[in-house]
């Protein structure tokens, strides 16, 4: 599901309805639901839930938990007291041991960029009341993910235990290979899902845009008809409008999906190759002629800027504050322009909302262009950083192997 466009869809589709609904309420009711929404956010993000551990798991430390989640392919941020694990773009948890009649592992919700953007957007647009169902959704989804993943990861399936008679250097090699492969696999997989989600978002947005254009065509055609026209003329206008919308949507959606499909398939193939290599390192399933893990890592290393770029591309919440501001400026600016246009010829004062609207929309465009430029500059920086690392590895390898 294309969840990336949810905040925008919420704003565009529900905003006008919501405004009418809330304006009909007295102020204290409005304030009450906003406070209720804020309290639900505070409750959802401070509620601590205990994780039941089996005896073998009680000796684990936050660092070993972080490693287990990393090896299982999750994005992990670790500090001295806690481990933050992101399950998907909406759900993340912060795990920590706490003294509660003995050391207990507990987790609470942690905000991802997407959840933070959605919550900020809801409050910014005076839609705080919807934070309540949104927090319920987050709690249920996070709890579901936590219950599914925590026991699976802590079971130790991803731990690399020494094999009988295995030398320490051999185990070190396996540990390092598994660590590197897991990290690259996680980034490639994130890139794959980001690209997938970006494709769905692009297709849905294009269908919406073309649908609106089709609606305008339909409107224009209907203006040419009157109730005195024969019914077939009206029907023909309707069919023409809907036909334009439908055919354009299909063509655009098909073109967009084809354009992105190749990149998605390439990323999928990378994930599969890395999965195969990981399985081999963990289970020692080996066959002559199978792809070398170190060579695969070197090849993947060259692809990293592309993986990271794909991973960053789809995040609608890349610059949450800027995006929310752009959205609000466009929405309010459009309202002002529409209001100004509808009363354009009533009095000269009515030019004021039109001017304000135009300024707001222009500011939104400039802000959006600025964020695109910033993103481009960051991509260049990433590419340079990886080129630097490539050079580093090349010279280090020459040193290690005695002057290649």
State the distance between the two ends of the chain, measured CA to CA, in whole angstroms. 50
Q: Could you give the CA distance from residue 365 to residue 7 in angstroms, rounded to a whole number? A: 19
Of the listed pieces 259-267, 350-358, 364-372, 394-402, which binds another protein according to CB under 8 A?
394-402
Binder to another protein among 77, 140, 250, 341 (CB under 8 A)? 77
Sign of CA dihedral 100, 107, 142, 153: negative
**For the residues of 224-279, what is the DSSP string, one character each?**
T--TTS-HHHHHHHHHHHHHHHHHHHHHHHHHHHHHHHHHHHHHHHHHHHHHHHHH
Which residues are CB-neighbours of 358 under 8 A, at least 6 positions away? 333, 337
Q: Least distance (Å) from another protein to the CB of residue 320?
A: 17
* Residue (20 or 286) nearer to another protein, CB: 286
Is 49 strand, coil or helix? strand
Give yes or no for residue 404 binding another protein (CB under 8 A).
yes
Give yes or no for residue 301 binding another protein (CB under 8 A).
yes
Would you give the distance in Å from CA 11 to the centre of its chain? 17
Of the listed pieces 219-227, 286-294, 322-330, 365-373, which binds another protein according to CB under 8 A?
286-294
Of the listed pieces 49-57, 141-149, 200-208, 287-295, which binds another protein according to CB under 8 A?
287-295
Is 75 strand, coil or helix? strand
Binder to another protein among 279, 294, 341, 344 (CB under 8 A)? 294
Instruction: Return the closest-CA partner of residue 121 out of 11, 4, 3.
Output: 11
Q: Could you give the CA distance from residue 232 to residue 236 in angstroms, rounded to a whole number? A: 6
Q: Could you give the CA distance from residue 90 to residue 93 in angstroms, rounded to a whole number? A: 10
Q: Least distance (Å) from another protein to the CB of residue 195?
A: 17
Which residues are CB-neighbours of 133 under 8 A, at least 6 positions away? none
Binder to another protein among 20, 52, 288, 346 (CB under 8 A)? 288
Q: Least distance (Å) from another protein to the CB of residue 289?
A: 6
Size of the site for another protein (CB under 8 A): 36
Strands (E), 38-152: 49-51, 75-78, 82-86, 92-99, 103-110
Q: Are 306 and 386 in contact (CB under 8 A)?
A: no
Binder to another protein among 308, 327, 331, 354 (CB under 8 A)? 308
Give yes or no for residue 397 binding another protein (CB under 8 A).
yes
Q: Could you give the CA distance from residue 196 to residue 263 in angstroms, rounded to a whole number? A: 9
* Residue (58 or 389) nearer to another protein, CB: 389
* Residue (262 or 287) nearer to another protein, CB: 287
Binder to another protein among 243, 298, 342, 362 (CB under 8 A)? 298
Q: Least distance (Å) from another protein to the CB of residue 326?
A: 26
Q: Please, which of residues 149-208 interact with another protein by CB under 8 A?
A: 169-170, 172-173, 176-177, 179-180, 183-184, 187
Give yes or no for residue 349 binding another protein (CB under 8 A).
no
Give yes or no for residue 39 binding another protein (CB under 8 A).
no
Give yes or no for residue 80 binding another protein (CB under 8 A).
no
Q: Least distance (Å) from another protein to the CB of residue 161?
A: 17
What φ, ψ does residue 62 adopt, rounded to 5°? -60, -35
Q: Least distance (Å) from another protein to the CB of residue 115?
A: 17
Q: Least distance (Å) from another protein to the CB of residue 291?
A: 9
Q: Could you give the CA distance from residue 341 to residue 358 in angstroms, rounded to a whole number? A: 11
Binder to another protein among 64, 75, 126, 322 (CB under 8 A)? 75
* Residue (100 or 172) nearer to another protein, CB: 172
Q: Could you give the CA distance from residue 18 to residue 134 in angstroms, rounded to a whole number? A: 16
Binder to another protein among 63, 295, 338, 373 (CB under 8 A)? 295
* Residue (287 or 347) nearer to another protein, CB: 287
Which residues are CB-neighbours of 74 under 8 A, at least 6 positions away? 85, 86, 87, 149, 153, 186
Q: Least distance (Å) from another protein to the CB of residue 402?
A: 5
Residues near another protein (CB under 8 A)? 75-77, 169-170, 172-173, 176-177, 179-180, 183-184, 187, 286, 288-289, 292-295, 297-298, 301, 304, 308, 389, 392-394, 396-397, 400-402, 404
């Amino acid at each position: 599901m294309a969840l990336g466009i949810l905040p925008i869809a919420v704003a565009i589709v529900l905003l006008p309805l919501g405004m009418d609904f809330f304006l009909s309420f007295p102020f204290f009711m409005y304030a009450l639901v906003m406070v209720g929404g804020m309290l639900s956010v505070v409750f959802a993000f401070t509620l601590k839930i205990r994780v039941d551990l089996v005896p073998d798991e009680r000796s684990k430390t936050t660092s070993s938990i972080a490693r287990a989640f990393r090896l299982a392919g999750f994005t992990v941020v670790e500090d001295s007291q806690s481990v933050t694990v992101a399950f998907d773009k909406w759900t993340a948890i912060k795990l920590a041991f706490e003294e509660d009649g003995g050391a207990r592992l507990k987790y609470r919700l942690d905000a991802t960029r997407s959840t933070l953007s959605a919550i900020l957007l809801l409050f910014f647009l005076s839609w705080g009341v919807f934070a309540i169902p949104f927090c319920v959704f987050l709690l249920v989804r996070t709890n579901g993910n936590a219950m599914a993943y925590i026991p699976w990861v802590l079971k130790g399936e991803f731990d690399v235990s020494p094999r009988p008679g295995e030398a320490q250097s051999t185990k070190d090699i396996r540990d390092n290979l598994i660590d590197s492969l897991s990290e690259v696999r996680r980034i490639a997989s994130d890139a794959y899902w980001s690209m997938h989600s970006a494709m769905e978002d692009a297709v849905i947005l294009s269908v919406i845009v073309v649908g609106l254009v089709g609606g305008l065509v339909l409107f224009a055609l209907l203006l040419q008809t009157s109730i005195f026209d024969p019914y077939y003329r009206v029907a023909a206008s309707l069919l023409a409008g809907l036909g334009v919308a439908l055919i354009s949507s299909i063509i655009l959606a098909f073109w967009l999906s084809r354009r992105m499909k190749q990149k998605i398939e390439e990323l999928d193939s990378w994930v599969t190759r890395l999965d195969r290599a990981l399985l081999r390192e963990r289970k020692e399933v080996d066959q002559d002629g199978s792809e070398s893990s170190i060579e695969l890592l070197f090849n993947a290393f060259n692809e990293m800027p592309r993986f990271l770029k794909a991973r960053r591309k789809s995040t609608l919440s890349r610059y949450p504050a800027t995006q929310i501001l752009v959205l609000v400026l466009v929405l309010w600016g459009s309202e002002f322009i529409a209001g100004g246009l509808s009363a354009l010829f009533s009095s000269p004062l009515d030019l004021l909302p039109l001017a304000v609207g135009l300024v707001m929309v222009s500011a939104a465009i400039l802000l959006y262009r600025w964020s695109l430029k910033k993103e481009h500059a960051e991509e260049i920086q990433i590419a340079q950083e990886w080129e630097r690392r490539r050079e580093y590895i090349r010279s280090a390898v020459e040193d290690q192997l005695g002057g290649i």
